[in-house]
Copies of this chain bind each other. A is one copy, B any other.
Amino acid sequence: MTSQAEENYLKAIFKIAEKENKAVQTNAVAAAMQTTAASVTDMLKRLAEKNLIAYEKYRGVQLTDAGCRLATDLIRKHRLWEVFLVEKLGFAWDEVHDLAEQLEHVQGDELVQRLDTYLNNPRFDPHGDPIPDAEGRWEFRPQTLLANLEPGEQGIITGVQEHSTAFLQYLGQVGLTLGVSLQLVERIDYDQSVRVRLHDARELTLSEKVSKNLFLKIENT
Contacts and interface: CB of A to CB of B under 8 A. Distances in A.
Interface of A: 85, 88-91, 95, 98-99, 102-103, 105-108, 110-111, 114-115, 118
Nearest to A100: B106
Contacts of A88: 118
A interface: dominant SS: helix
B102 A107 contact: yes
Nearest to A96: B111
A114 to B, nearest CB: 4
B114 A106 contact: no
Given A102-B108, A103-B103, 13 more contacts: A85-B111, A89-B111, A89-B118, A90-B114, A91-B114, A95-B110, A98-B108, A99-B106, A102-B105, A102-B106, A102-B107, A103-B106, A106-B106
A108 to B, nearest CB: 5
A115 B89 contact: yes
Nearest to A108: B99
